[in-house]
Chains A and B, each alone.
Chain A
Amino acid sequence: MAAAPKLPRGARSRILFRIMRTYMKPYWKRMLLVLVLMLSANAFALVGPWLSGQALNAIADRNGVRFGDVYRTLAWMAAFYLASALLSYLVSRLMVGLGQRIAYRMREDVFDKLMKMPVGYFDRNATGDIVSRISYDIDTINASLSNDLLQILASLVTVIGSLVMMAVICPILLVVFAVTVPISLLFTRYKSKKIRPLFSRRSAKLGELNGYAEEMLSGQKSIKAYTREEVITGRFDRYNEEACQAYYRADYQAAIIGPTVNFINNLSLVLITTLGGMLYMFTVFAYPMPAVFQIEIGAVGSFVQYSRKFTGPINEFANIINEIHSALSAGDRVFRLLDEEEEVQDVPGAEKLEDVCGDVALSHVRFGYTPERVVLGDLSLDVRAGQTIAIVGPTGAGKTTIINLLMRFYDPQSGRICLDGRDLRDCTMVSVRRSYTMVLQDTWLFYGTIRDNIRYGHEEATEEEIRAAAKAAHIDSYIESLPDGYGTILSDDGVNISKGQKQMLTIARAMLLRSPLLILDEATSNVDSRTEMQIRDSMEELMKDRTCFIIAHRLSTIEKADQILVVKDGDVIERGTHRELLSRPTFYRDLYRSQFETSGGPPAADPELFA
């Protein structure tokens, strides 16, 4: 589609080598077989025109048609073509199998890698980008691997073979290519140099158009509310115009290529005909000249056919090189993903946590996602089993970071975190995470039945248990109202399920898991107040006897916490119970009051605090 971005020369060959080493080497025997078959197929096909020339000579014999020779030659021709067709089908078949195997393995590798990537990777990279690596990029590599590499080899065979055949038939006529091949090469070189930037510009402009369209589509409702449709469309038209114009400019230059390639082919034909016709005339009329100059009419015919075979691949070459370039930059993107640093791994001999009570201790924890930007400065915290800890504070203050550390999505840079007195770093990752149940603001459901979504992480749950969990989350009656009940498939375009209902499903999922610790990160923010009240009992049931960490905007849900941490700029600035914090002038008190403020109340002292 678009010209590949330029990679440095060294990087290109490194990527190529790596693709071959990792993905093609295991199949080298098969590749070798394919190569041999392909060379034979091409060689067989090359014999065809020579045989047809022989047949024509037999026809054009001055003593009348030598039918025996003609038929024998034709039988050979048919046999060679048949063999060539069979072989090339076999080659394609083998290559399809091979290409698919390689693609399968690449996708598998990328996915495995994704499963080992730290969660931060998914925060930093757009989902669309990750998806395009595993689909579009791997497709590009695969298409190029299975076609281009072999095609280059095959083309080489064809080019060299045709050249040899033509030299055998009539070396003098080869002079023609001394004219057309340099023209051809110079032309493609010149053109691709000139066109390449036009094509990058074309994709850049298209990218800008896409970006603008994406942004404006996301604001469509507002645009309509302000009836700005015409104005915005007018601006879109400018991007559209530029994109179309860039496309046209590239096309305008590229429009020369096809006809010119054709022209060069025709030019070869003209020269061969004129020169060949002349030599043929000299031969017919027995002009005095060296024997190598003599030519039969059949030879002219064969020569013309070989000349087509000879110029074809040369003109294709530029295309193939371009394809290989884009495959290599796709390879670069895929390998860069495969080379990303993985999530921290278990230390050797890591302990498996069992029968966790739920005592959590953080001592002098310091953490930042990058070494330069510290998110948590020096956090210490002691939680006894069964306690409820609420974390409050403005957006970006580090609330979610604490959760990330507790579940060991990240390790602190200094200080330590202990669960039941054991340092998390000495425990297996799985046993640490399995100790927690988590309900997040971003509800996550996958394509599958409601049943599978509820029992996710606890596959052995019985139907009764699933129902009980759904009932407790007040979602059972809704599920039963669906035609397929618990077997209903959740998909993007299928059942119309509201945000609130999605959240209830994830709460039901949490109800089913019996882990000693619970994390609620804005768990009920999508549920409206009335429903929240209705599931309050179930939530309390869920929290009973567990160590709980709660992040919430609705302060009513955290009043009962044993300890409230107010986090601001990475530090805990206040801590205590609800009552304690309200009893003195605190940031928390200001925050708490604001939820009851009406427009008549006093303006907040510092409007930026919570912005």
Chain B
Amino acid sequence: MGVGFTIKVLGTLIELAIPQILSYILDEIVPKNDLGLVFAWGGLMLLCALGALVGNIVANRMASRVARDGARAIRHDLFAKIMHLSARDVDRFTVPSLESRLTTDTYNVHNFIGMIQRIGIRAPLLLVGGLAFTLMLDPVLTLVMLGVMPLIVLTVFLVSSRGIPLYRKAQKSVDGMVRVVREDSQGVRVIRALSQAGYERQRFETVNRQLTQDEKRAQLTMILSNPLINLFINIGLVGVIFFGATRVSRSLTSPATIIAFMQFFVMVSNGILALTRIFVQATKSTASMNRIDEVLRCEEDCAVDLTHARTAEAVPGAPLLCFDHVTFGYLDGKVALKDLSFSLEKGQMLGIIGSTGSGKSTILQLMMRFYDVNPDGGGVFLEGRDVRSMTAEQVRSRFGIVRQNDFLYADTIAENIRFGREAGQKDLLDAAERAQALDFITRLPDSFEHRIASHGADLSGGQRQRLLIARALLGHPDILILDDSSSALDYRTDANLRHAIAALPERPTTVVVAQRISAVQEADLILVLDHGQVIGAGKHEELMRTCPVYEEIARSQMGDGNGGAAYE
């Protein structure tokens, strides 16, 4: 970067010499009546122009390289950070927003790094260098020029300090307009059903009018700057000639100097204009940089925490998974789980049931150490070892999780099962077979190498399920989690999934989170959750007797409690 900087400085300085030579030729060489000298100095001028050309190209290319490296590093850090963000932060930022930070904002920053190097060095140099040369040419005329500069600076300052907030306001109006279009595109069925097109047109007209008005106001402010700055520069030129006339008559300066001076004047003004552009671009990219920074400064996911961990070793004979008086609250202060205790032995099945927001997913989050329990809120143990004494990877590698509508991406079947992990062909086959996915995979055109669409859109729901189970099984997890808390799938697919798991040769320890009784009925332990508290725990039959809420849910789903028996 230092080299590029130096070259850029040199290139610009050489360029500054050109008007100087122009004045020298007209003033000093012409009176000597020597054609050879005129061409010699002209040649020198050409050399300077060439030097500036080469210097600027090299420097610009170096600037592009710096910008590339900078942007790449920022984007990498941002992506890596996003991958580690807690679910809460992801929800807070929202995926589209994170995406635009990763793309548009890093793009703006990329542009800016390049621009600040290309223009950021040149503009001040033109400004300062131009000023220096004019001082050498004629200090008094420089004062004339400097008399106009404050006006130009003031114009730039006033226009942009008024314009930028106006633009920000206009940007908000754009958001408002976009929101209506977005909402209406998504809700078109409701709008049509209720014949509300007229109402929506009105709603759009309001935002459209607002946007037009705000943009107009911002633009009307900004268009002031060009005519004003041009006027001031030109008035400055008039002033230079005006004072120049007196000075020429007193033989203090020459007409050629005035010509050269005018060249420098334009150069200096261009420098100022370029600085203004940087200023505007800087406000834009500062906004982007802040948005990036906001993400980068989020808390890291759980690190190993030995101060709070109660055990750092596995305890022989301890249950595979144990929650001991766990209390947990998210940052908003509300308690999400209160005094939860249970333990699960190897090979057992745990069912968790409850309404939305009852704390079902929180249990999973704590189990897999996406969050840590409150410092005085008990502990989560794997084989007797406090999960806080383990890295996130150590904890999570013990689990395999299958969510309804989980993440499948545009790549091969094999890659979707491997999911970035090392696995041989044999492991792959084995996992697919155990998940009952082998059949349909081998029927695909390229078998395991078949490429699926994003989100597995070209697979059936059942095929997706089995692919996800294969993914979970590939890691030979100690605990298999089936999370269908947000299921909108039909019962058939749901039942098939459970059949597939039940049919596994070596049934793993399983945790099932569900809204449907049928999914947890078989469990060795069912927890009924309500507002973060366990209101019932036990086997299905026990709960039907002891837990009114469970019984109520069961009745509602089984068709008055005897629906299931009615036809069998």
Contact = CB atoms under 8 A, between A and B. Distances in A.
Partners in one complex: yes
Given A217-B99, A220-B82, A273-B42, A610 B492 contact: yes
5 contacts: A227-B397, A229-B80, A262-B52, A582-B567, A589-B567
Given A444-B186, A444-B190, A498-B357, A219 B409 contact: yes
Contacts of A214: 95, 99
A226 B421 contact: yes
Contacts of B463: 611
Contacts of A433: 192-195
A266 to B, nearest CB: 4
* Minimum-distance CB pairs A-B, first 5: A611-B462, A219-B407, A274-B42, A610-B492, A457-B194
Interface string A242-277: 001101100110011011101100110111011001
Contacts of A308: 266
A215 B68 contact: no
A598 B76 contact: no
Nearest to B507: A599
Interface string B477-489: 0000000001011
A52 to B, nearest CB: 6
Interface SS of chain B: helix, strand, loop or mixed?
helix
B15 A266 contact: yes
Given A119-B188, A270-B45, A553-B488, 7 more contacts: A104-B208, A122-B186, A206-B107, A233-B79, A308-B266, A595-B494, A611-B462
Contacts of B76: 233, 236-237, 240
B339 to A, nearest CB: 22
Interface in A111-162: 111-112, 114-117, 119, 122, 127, 130-131, 134-135
B285 to A, nearest CB: 15
Nearest to B241: A55
A387 B533 CA distance: 42
B193 A604 contact: no
A114 B421 contact: no
A537 interface: no
A233 B83 contact: yes
Interface stretch (B141-149, B177-185, B276-284, B372-380): B177-185
B29 A277 contact: yes
B522 A529 contact: no
B193 A436 contact: yes
Interface residues of B, number: 176
A181 to B, nearest CB: 17
Which has the most chain A C-beta neighbours within 10 Å: B355, B407, B503, B515?
B407
Contact of B488 (A235, A525, A556): A525
B403 A301 contact: no
Nearest to A267: B49
Given A263-B53, A273-B25, A409-B192, A100 B460 contact: no
Contacts of A64: 249
Contacts of B38: 274, 277-278, 281
Contact of B103 (A209, A273, A493): A209
B83 A226 contact: no
A15 B448 CA distance: 48
B195 A430 contact: yes
B174 A277 contact: no
Contact of B238 (A81, A119, A525, A589): A81
B492 A609 contact: yes
Contact of A217 (B64, B82, B499, B521): B82
Contact of B215 (A100, A525, A589, A591): A100
Contact of A210 (B103, B192, B226): B103
A266 B49 contact: yes
Contact of B33 (A81, A84, A285, A493): A285
A593 interface: yes
A225 B241 contact: no
Interface string B516-527: 101001100000
B202 to A, nearest CB: 11
A434 interface: yes
B98 interface: yes
Contact of B356 (A226, A273, A500): A500
B557 interface: yes
Contacts of A219: 407, 409
A50 to B, nearest CB: 13
Contacts of B84: 224, 229
Contact of A270 (B46, B177, B354, B549): B46
Interface in B500-552: 501-503, 515-516, 518, 521-522, 549, 552
Interface string B193-210: 111110111001100110
A82 interface: yes
Interface string B84-103: 11010010001100110011
A78 interface: yes
B157 interface: no
Interface stretch (B158-166, B252-260, B318-326, B381-389): B252-260
B75 interface: yes
Nearest to B471: A226
Interface in B341-357: 354-357
Interface in A273-289: 273-274, 277-278, 280-281, 284-285
B42 A135 contact: no
A362 B405 CA distance: 35
A600 B107 CA distance: 55
B200 A115 contact: yes
Interface in A390-405: 394-395
Contacts of A532: 556
B220 A52 contact: no
Interface string B214-228: 011001100110111
A297 B256 contact: yes
A439 to B, nearest CB: 9
Interface in B21-55: 21-22, 25-26, 29-31, 33, 35, 38-39, 41-42, 45-46, 48-50, 52-53
Contacts of B187: 444, 446
Contacts of A610: 461-462, 490-493, 496
